[in-house]
């Protein structure tokens, strides 16, 4: 359990290799590569529709890749050997409502060779008080916690958590992060998907940002934050767009009607330069960019590079 991974077992516990998934005319994953190594917490970060859930489903062997490959513990994701080492929290709209919480936990625990004691699972997921309640009588947050318990109960080496904290309040989210942190310290690997940068930052050793079915960026939370964090600056200026885009710290610039919009890692320097070069500048506006916008700029610059290449 307390594994100090040697060189040999540093092989990925989960891996997508040039994986493509098409649903009819829609391409959910356009050739994606990433791996989760033993003991690592990896966050797949991306906006809705980026392909996060599809990536998880490929790795769990729930859908077949249109091209490329998904590997789990160096084998077929659908094999029993891989599945008994895996626990999953999926975006399930409903769990059978006429079973009690502890009955659900007992049943799923029975699928695993070394499940956690029920008491431990219930405590980790905060379910002690509601073990005897029927699933159908639970609130949204409680249901989410049951799904978390079902992922944990087999004491798996690898946890898949697909948007685990959607719909949870701040307190529940923190409690959840604590449990994940403990699992990671025990040497378990975790792959979680989220569209909260804050969540990825709090939990992950490594963040893989995906958008439109492709890896846009990959790195430690600090590296990703440096690329993603920034401000959006808008103004009316006579400066040519190319000049604005080339200003220090500016990552992306575009015309939005009469206005110029730019995305800057350091807004102060960019604004200073703008004003220095164009004293006539007006309608200046600086505000924080959310993750969605950060994604858009990153995706655009990726596309631009591709076109240029």
DSSP-derived secondary structure letter, 181: H
Which residue, 35 or 99, has its beta carbon nearer to another protein? 99
Give the span between the Cα atoms of 8 and 62, in whole angstroms.
28
Residues at the contact surface with another protein, assessed by CB under 8 A:
1, 3, 23, 53-54, 57, 60-64, 80-81, 83-86, 88, 90-96, 98-99, 103, 106-108, 110-114, 134, 147, 150, 154, 157, 160
What's the min distance (Å) between Cβ of 38 and another protein? 11
Residue 26 dihedral angles phi and psi, to the nearest 5°? -90, 130
90 vs 229 by CB, closer to another protein: 90
- In the complex, the smallest distance separating the C-beta of residue 104 from another protein, rounded to whole angstroms, is 8
- Least distance in Å: CB of 15 to another protein? 17
Look at residues 198, 222, 195 and name the one whose alpha carbon lies nearest to residue 209.
195
Q: Using CA atoms, how far apart are residues 73 and 255, in angstroms rounded to an integer?
A: 48
Residue nearer to another protein on the CB measure, 83 or 173:
83
Tokens for 115? 């499940």
Quote the least distance from Cβ 28 to another protein, whole Å.
9
Cα of first residue to Cα of last residue in the chain, in angstroms, is 47
Tokens of 279: 């004293």
Which of 64/185 has CB closer to another protein?
64
Minimum CB distance to another protein smaller for 112 or for 272: 112
- As a residue count, the chain comes to 309
DSSP for 157-203 reads SEEEEESTTTT--HHHHHHHHHHHHHHHHTT-EEEEEES-HHHHHHH
Minimum CB separation from another protein for residue 190, in Å?
15
3-state secondary structure of 63: coil
């Amino acid at each position: 359990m307390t594994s100090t991974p040697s060189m040999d077992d540093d092989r990925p516990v989960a891996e997508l290799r040039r994986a493509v998934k098409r649903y009819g005319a829609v391409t959910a994953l356009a050739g994606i590569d990433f791996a989760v190594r033993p003991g690592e917490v990896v966050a797949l970060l991306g906006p809705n529709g980026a392909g996060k859930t599809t990536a998880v489903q490929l790795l769990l062997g729930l859908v077949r890749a249109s091209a490329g490959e998904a590997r789990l513990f160096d084998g077929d994701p659908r094999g029993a050997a891989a599945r008994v080492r895996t626990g999953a929290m999926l975006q399930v709209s409903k769990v059978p409502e006429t079973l009690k919480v502890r009955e659900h936990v007992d049943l799923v625990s029975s699928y695993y060779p070394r499940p956690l004691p029920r008491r431990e699972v219930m405590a980790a997921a905060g379910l002690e008080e509601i073990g005897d309640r029927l699933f159908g009588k639970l609130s949204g947050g409680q249901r989410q916690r049951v799904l978390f318990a079902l992922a944990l109960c087999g004491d798996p080496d690898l946890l898949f958590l697909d948007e685990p904290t959607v719909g949870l309040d701040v307190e529940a989210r923190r409690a959840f992060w604590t449990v994940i942190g403990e699992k990671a310290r025990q040497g378990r690997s975790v792959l979680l998907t989220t569209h909260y940068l804050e969540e990825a930052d709090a939990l992950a050793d490594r963040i893989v940002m995906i958008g439109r079915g492709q890896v846009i960026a990959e790195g430690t939370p600090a590296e990703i934050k440096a690329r993603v964090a920034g401000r959006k600056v808008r103004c009316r200026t006579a400066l040519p767009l190319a000049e604005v885009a080339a200003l220090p710290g500016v990552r992306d610039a575009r015309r939005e009607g009469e206005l110029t919009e730019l995305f800057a890692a350091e807004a102060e320097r960019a604004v200073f330069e703008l004003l220095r070069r164009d004293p006539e500048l007006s309608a200046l506006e600086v505000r924080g960019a959310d993750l969605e916008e950060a994604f858009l700029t990153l995706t655009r610059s990726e596309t631009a590079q591709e076109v240029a290449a």
